[in-house]
Amino acid sequence: MAEGGAAGGDPFQRLDLWLWCARLAKTRAECARQVAAGAVRLNRQPTDKAHARLRVGDVLTIGLHGRVRVWRVAALASRRGPPAEARMLYEDLSGEEA
C-alpha cells in the first residue's frame, strides 16, 4: 500500500494507515482521532494531520494511555497483519517493553 511521489520519489504512506497497520488502535478512524488530538509527533514536530506522509526512517513520538512511545519507522505496511508482523514495522526507541 505504499504510495509514491509524482516523480516516483521516496515511497510514503499515510500516517493513520501506518499506525493502524502497526496496531496502535483497533480502527483506522481511532488512529486518525489520536493524530488529530495531538497525541503523535512526526520527527519531533507536532502534527494533527492524519494524512501526513510517513517514510522509512521517520521517528514518531506517541503519547497514549499515560505512556510515551518513541518509534522509528523500519518499513511501510503492505497490510494489517498479526501482532508479530506489526512489530516489524518499527523499532522501539523508548527503552521499555511494550
| Beta bridge mates, 63 | 68
Q: For residue 4, what pLDDT is reported?
A: 58
How far is 71 from 57, CA to CA, in rounded Å? 10
Q: For residue 96, what pLDDT is reported?
A: 64
Contacts of 41 (CB under 8 A, 6+ apart): 47, 60, 61, 62
pTM, two decimals, is: 0.86
Q: What is the pLDDT along the chain (98 residues), one digit of tens a residue?
A: 555 554 557 899 999 999 999 999 999 999 999 999 999 999 999 999 999 999 999 999 999 888 999 999 999 999 999 999 999 999 999 876 54
Q: For residue 13, what pLDDT is reported?
A: 97
Q: For residue 65, what pLDDT is reported?
A: 83
Question: What are the grid coordinates assigned to 88, written together?
Answer: 516489524
Domain locations in the chain? 13-92
Fold of 13-92: 3.10.290
Q: For residue 6, what pLDDT is reported?
A: 47
